[in-house]
Amino acid sequence: MATITRRSFIEMAVALGATAAWGQPTAARSKVDWHERRDFYPEGVASGDPESDSVLLWTRRPPINGNVVSKLTVEIAEDESFRQVVGTAEAPISEASDWTCRVLAGGLKPSKVYWYRFTDLHGNGSRVGRTITAPTDDDTRTVRFVFISCQNANDGAQNAYRRMIFEDERAAEEDRLGFVLHLGDFIYEIVWYPEDRPQGMYDRRLRDIVRYEHGEKIGDFHIPTVVGDYRAIYRSYLHDPDLQDARARWPFVCMWDNHEFSWIGWQSMQQFGGVNRPAQTRRVAANQAFFEYQPARLYKPSGPSLDQFDPPRVVDAPITHFDEHGLGQEPNNLTAIHSLRGYRALRWGRNMELIITDQRSYRSEDPTYRAEAKAFTSDDFPGFMPQEVLDILDGGSAYNGGHPPATIKYGSTEIANFRKDQPPTTILGAEQKAWFLERLQKSNATWKIWGDTVATLDMRADPQNLPAGLTSAWPGAGYAGFDASTGAGDHSTAYVERGEIYDFVRDQGITGFATVAGDRHSFWAGLAAKGLPPKTFEPVGIAFVTGSISAPGIVEAFEHGFPKDHPLRPLFVGQGPGDSRPQPTMNLLLRHGARSSLEYVKSGDIQKARALSNPDLSPHLSFVDMGGHGYAVVRVTSIALEAEFVCIPRPIERSDRPDGGPLLYRSRHRAHLWRKGETPRLETQIVEGDPKFSI
Ligand SMILES: [Fe+2]
């Protein structure tokens, strides 16, 4: 990338919708009359998607008390006091892009910390941001980054960012983070106004963070309907001081998950109350706000505008015809989902390529969200769904070599297979999947890291091993997965697609395949395998999931919502004889099985509980914490990859401590690079604290 010309650089900036700032070979003292006025830049500054010679810079300068400006000066320097300025440019801002500003700074040196700031023509200056370029492709140095997901400013505090900043500021220069990978749910578009839910949400009080001017109220929450509403929710989140400081400290690499558009969103469809409805106009509005508020190298076909998204015109039209990959052929749907392309690959030196995919725009409908799927659930087994049912529903017409059953057995009843004439579930969609596999195959980086917003690791339990008489007989044939409300719907139940990807990795002899994911609001470390016992267990890579920054997890939800007198409650939130409050026994259930959860509740003895482990349940897992929050640090070298889970207490209120509050635990999960034909392995080390239910 070092040989890129100024002309091709400007063409690249134009395609990204950014103003270009070209680095000068000789640094000079700033000539800009900058006075810091953070009140003129209420959403702070940010940078994103660094390459070895360029990075995107971002801010927002709205009209303040009638003081309107139409352009900003941006400076990028090698020092914090701007005596060594290497690039300056003027960038337009306007109401059409909600006064946001994107600049692609190029001609930079690799693996280097830079400082940047914005100034208006009156000298009102933004805060100073810090960013870091990527190493060149042949650089063998260690790469460090954090991956995170799911921050909720409506009901939580962003203490995890404060901890991240605290530790990074105190780390040796060579141990600092290179970037932050945000795997979605940067915002939650669903907002509860405090007066609509006085009881709060689980353990949390609701904050009055936004009022949607054109919002729609559904039940007791509100959702955005137009671009102004989506912009408003981004702004309210960016007013969080911890998030704003993090964006000013590191380059972010952001990918949307579901909540950047809609809770149960797929393509340009929304689903509420079990009913799908077309939402092409909202899909475009969500894409526009993402484009405006996240500095990212996204392709937009709507035109080479420097400063505007230029939304395509669409109408909300019914989507009734789907192709053989489940892609809705309605023209407004296609226009809406193609109005911004989020999947992309970024490179950090010899050791790492990050391949980021979009799990929402092209996916087929999740069968477990279909009303017909309810027939395979039971109040006696909340959350559980037989794994063979999930398998048949996922496979659709391709199940059993193209001979799917007409009915599916559930307990003593036969239920119609509503999926037998539909294609297998896809989360990536055909076009993106082809791109993804090609990137995997062509990458010559030591580690191929798949940034998948949704988890790939199987989440299952063994209700077949429950003692007789505890509840009714388990209606499944063996293991249980989980229904849509609890677990299904990610890459762990897209068996056909996940199998296709893992077979490709195996058949092509691809090593160093690692997945980092979010969405589950829980920490997971394990091996990537398409099948678990009694099927063949053949890992082809390693996989991790990070706990949420702040959004509530399933343990918190179950503490409040799982019926207190339900015989299966101890499997999820059990209380041992010596415990003063419920414990996350769900971790034991997923890692060791139902007998372990029940033993813990009976004796309070974790050793005895682990001794009853079912070895066939989760040979792929080395760690699971359904109650944890925080972030995951990844260190990548030419010989090993290590993910460190930094777990904080439930972030109910903002910590006033400089370190963001105490830690619950810190665990490390390390894999040595395996050779072609070798099986990957993970080693776990608990560095701090005692996550005793998780191992
Ligand atoms: Fe989330």
User: For the chain, how many residues are written?
Assistant: 695
Q: Does residue 130 surpass a pLDDT of 80? A: yes
Residue 2: pLDDT band by 50, 70, 90 thresholds? very low
Gap between the terminal Cα atoms of the chain:
44
Cα of 262 vs centre of ligand 1, distance in Å, is 11
Q: 421: Cβ–Cβ under 8 A, 6 or more apart, which residues? A: 396, 397
Give the residue carrying structure tokens 């070298």: 637
Quote the ligand 1 centre to 147 CA distance (angstroms): 14
Report the share of the chain in percent with pLDDT over 90.
93
What is the identity of the amino acid at 120? D
Q: CA–CA distance from 278 to each of 185, 266, 321, 356 (Å)? A: 21, 10, 13, 26
What sections of 396-490 are H helices per DSSP?
A: 399-402, 430-442
Q: How far is the CA of 600 from the centre of ligand 1 (A)?
A: 29
Whether pLDDT at 299 is above 70: yes
Q: How far is the CA of 25 from the centre of ligand 1 (A)?
A: 44
CA of 549 to the centre of ligand 1 (A): 9
Compute, in angstroms, the gap from residue 90 CA to the centroid of ligand 1: 37
pLDDT score at 1: 37
Which tokens belong to 487? 């677990």
Rounded distance from Cα 490 to ligand 1 centre (Å):
12
Separation CA 40–CA 234 (nearest Å): 17
Q: How far apart are CA 507 and CA 143, in angstroms?
A: 28
Tell me the CA–centroid distance for residue 188 and ligand 1, in Å.
8
Cα 502 to averaged position of ligand 1 atoms, centre (Å) = 25
Interval between CA 508 and ligand 1 midpoint (Å): 33
What phi and psi, each to the nearest 5 degrees, are found at residue 252? -105, 145
With b meaning 16 or more CB within 10 Å and e meaning fewer, what string describes 669-688?
bbbebbeeeeebebeeebee
Q: Are 276 and 369 in contact (CB under 8 A)?
A: no
The predicted-structure confidence for 174-195, as pLDDT tens digits, reads as follows 999 999 999 999 999 999 999 9
Tokens of 166: 């605290």
552 CA distance to ligand 1 middle (Å): 8
Q: Kindly tell me if the per-residue pLDDT of 10 is higher than 90.
A: no
Copy the structure tokens of residue 266. Answer: 């797929």
Cα(152) to centroid of ligand 1, in Å?
8
Report phi then psi at 630, rounded to 5.
140, -135
For residue 347, which phi and psi values (nearest 5 degrees)? -120, 135
Q: What is the pLDDT of residue 5?
A: 75
Give the 3-state secondary structure of 23-72. Answer: CCCCCECCCCCCEECHHHCCCCEEEECCCCCCEEEEEECCCECCECCCEE
Please give the distance, rounded to the nearest whole angstrom, from the Cα atom of residue 81 to the centre of ligand 1: 38
Ligand 1 centroid, distance to 150 Cα (angstroms): 4
Q: How confident is the model at residue 685 (pLDDT cuts 50, 70, 90)?
A: very high
- CA 142 to centroid of ligand 1, rounded, Å: 30
With a cut of 80, say whether residue 241 has pLDDT above it.
yes
Please compute the mean of the pLDDT values over residues 119-126 and round it to a whole number. Answer: 97
User: How far is ligand 1, taken at its centre, from the CA of residue 383, in Å?
Assistant: 18
Distance 454 CA to ligand 1 centre (A): 9
Radius of gyration of the chain (CA): 25
- Which of 17-26, 102-111, 286-295, 397-406 shows the lowest per-residue confidence on average (mean pLDDT)? 17-26
Q: How far is the CA of 191 from the centre of ligand 1 (A)?
A: 13
Distance in angstroms (rounded) separating the CA atoms of residues 559 and 4? 56
CA of 260 to the centre of ligand 1 (A): 10
Q: What is the torsional sign of CA 260, 263, 265, 268?
A: negative
Distance 575 CA to ligand 1 centre (A): 27
For residue 524, count CB atoms less than 10 angstroms from its CB and return exposed for 0-12, middle for 13-18, buried for 19 or more. Answer: buried
Three-state DSSP at 219 gives coil
Confidence bin at 475 (pLDDT 50/70/90): very high
CA–centroid distance, 186 to ligand 1, in Å, is: 8
Segment 495-523 mean pLDDT: 98
Report the separation in Å between the CA atom of 141 and the middle of ligand 1, taken as the mean of its atom positions.
Answer: 33
CA of 33 to the centre of ligand 1 (A): 42
The C-alpha atoms of residue 257 and residue 252 are separated, in whole angstroms, by: 15
Q: How far is the CA of 31 from the centre of ligand 1 (A)?
A: 44
Question: In the prediction, which pLDDT does 255 show?
Answer: 98
pLDDT of residue 15: 64
DSSP secondary structure of 485-500? TTT-SSTTS-HHHHHH
Beta bridge partners, 348, equal 352
Cα gap 342→451, rounded to integer Å: 12
- Predicted confidence at residue 3, as pLDDT, reads 52
Within 13 Å of residue 118, how many CA atoms lie on the same side as its CB? Answer: 32
Instruction: Give the H or E element holding residue 102.
Output: strand 100-106
pLDDT value at position 641? Answer: 98
Q: Region 463-477: what's the mean pLDDT?
A: 96
pLDDT attached to residue 12: 72
SS3 341: strand
In this prediction, residues 429-458 reach a mean pLDDT of 98
Percent of residues, the chain, with pLDDT higher than 70: 98
- Burial pattern 375-391, b for ≥16 Cβ within 10 A else e, equals ebbbebbbbbbbbbbbb
Residue 340 Cα to ligand 1 middle (Å):
21
CA atoms within 13 A on the CB side of 21: 28
Residue 548 alpha carbon to ligand 1 centre in Å: 7
Average pLDDT over residues 414-430: 97
**pLDDT at residue 256 tops 50:** yes
pLDDT at 303: 65
Helix axes 227-238, 280-293, angle to 10 degrees: 40
Q: Separation of 635 CA from ligand 1 center, angstroms?
A: 24
Q: How does pLDDT run across 618-648, given as a tens digit for each residue?
A: 999 999 999 999 999 999 999 999 999 999 9
Asked whether residue 611 carries a pLDDT value surpassing 70, the answer given is yes
CA distances from 370 to 304, 316, 401, 423, 496 (A): 40, 21, 24, 15, 19
Look at residue 222 and give its three-state secondary structure: strand
> What is the model's pLDDT at position 26?
82
Helix (H) or strand (E) holding 531: none
Q: Give residue-wise pLDDT tens across range 305-357.
A: 657 899 999 999 999 999 999 999 999 999 999 999 999 999 999 999 999 99
- Cα of 257 to ligand 1 centre, how many Å? 8
Distance 524 CA to ligand 1 centre (A): 15
How far away, in angstroms, is 455 Cα from ligand 1 center? 11
* Cα(521) to centroid(ligand 1), Å: 6
Give the distance (Å) from ligand 1 centre to CA of residue 676. 35
Q: What is the mean pLDDT of residues 432-444?
A: 98
The Å distance, Cα 449 to ligand 1 centre, comes to: 21
